[in-house]
Amino acid sequence: MTDLTPLTFTRLASGLQMGYVEAGPKNGKPVLLLHGFPEFHWSYRFQWPALAQAGFRIIVPDQRGYNLTDKTPPYDLDTLARDIAELQAALGIGQSHIVGRDWGGVVAYAFAHRYPERVHKLVVMNAPHINAYLDAIRAGNLTQMRKSWYVYAFQVPVLPEAAFARHDFELIERAFSRLKHVTPDDIARYKDAHRQPGALTAMIGWYRALMQWMVRYSFQPPVEPVRAPTQVIWGKRDLALDFRINDTLARYVPDVRIASILGASHWVQMDAPERVNELLLSFLKP
């Protein structure tokens, strides 16, 4: 299996060794693409060539604990956001566009709150803003409560990792084989990434750390409004997230617009790559 672009490694100021893919002209406006769970940089294979061809400098990291990046805790949001700031610094980037999906979107929101001077524009795909998510739960959104069952299941030690690894990552194969444009070769790549020593515990560790982080803030994380112009892209056939968790999003992200894609799932960037790329280019171009 040959990647479109080879993986490069850099050591962050924290000491973490992070792998990433880079494409496009070095003098192009930087765009960082942050993957979700249970993914790695390959999940943006339809986006980075299109953005690079449009003249952007594309950086797609494997985030902390994923694929060949170091499996070094902690995995709380403060640390994950700092990783992205340190990656920018390591690559000589002062400010960039930030694109995130699923967990990558959660990190993108956190990054935009903590490092506003480092964000030009923000794109979030099928990912909750933590405060808006908690608003929905407090308002009694039973649909989201049911959809979030796995978040609570992941708090159990050891068993989630065993479930994912069972029968040669059968859960991963079942999830991704339902998606449009996903090939057996793609699924093999995901399995290879998840076989890396410590990867499953690290990936699931993000959920465990999130619960501890939320308890620390008494389920009311402090937040300043995101100043960056923000585009939300949402696949409406999302089995993990209810679209209504965006109902109070404008409280925390005042300059936000939302585009929904009716036929796309939680993995909107793979289900509807052409439409996603169209929205990305339209929003990110000057």
Q: Where are the domains of the chain?
A: 7-284
**For 135-151, what is the mean pLDDT?**
96
Structure confidence at residue 108 (pLDDT): 98
User: 266 catalytic, yes or no?
Assistant: yes
**For 103-127, what is the mean pLDDT?**
98
pTM (2 d.p.): 0.97
Res. 179 pLDDT band, cuts 50 70 90: very high
Structure confidence at residue 8 (pLDDT): 97
Structure confidence at residue 1 (pLDDT): 36
Catalytic residue among 62, 102, 238, 242: 102
State yes or no: pLDDT of 144 exceeds 70.
yes
Catalytic residue among 129, 133, 266, 271: 266
Res. 223 pLDDT band, cuts 50 70 90: confident
Residue 268 Cα distances to 6, 93, 152, 161, 263, angstroms: 24, 28, 24, 25, 9
State yes or no: pLDDT of 149 exceeds 70.
yes
Phi, psi of 217 (to 5 degrees): -100, 15
Omega of the bond leading into 229 within 30 degrees of 0 (cis):
no
CA–CA dist 61, 23 (Å, integer): 12
User: 207 catalytic, yes or no?
Assistant: yes
Residue 262 Cα distances to 29, 103, 178, 246, angstroms: 31, 21, 16, 16
- Rounded mean pLDDT of the chain? 96
Q: What percent of the chain has pLDDT over 90?
A: 94
**For 223-250, what is the mean pLDDT?**
96
State yes or no: pLDDT of 4 exceeds 70.
no
CA–CA dist 281, 286 (Å, integer): 9
**For 57-66, what is the mean pLDDT?**
98
CATH says 7-284 is which class? Answer: alpha beta
CA–CA dist 109, 77 (Å, integer): 10
Catalytic residue among 207, 238, 242, 252: 207
Structure confidence at residue 180 (pLDDT): 86
State yes or no: pLDDT of 246 exceeds 80.
yes
Structure confidence at residue 2 (pLDDT): 41
68: CB partners within 8 A, 6+ apart: 7, 9, 19, 62, 196
First to last CA, the chain: 36
Res. 3 pLDDT band, cuts 50 70 90: low
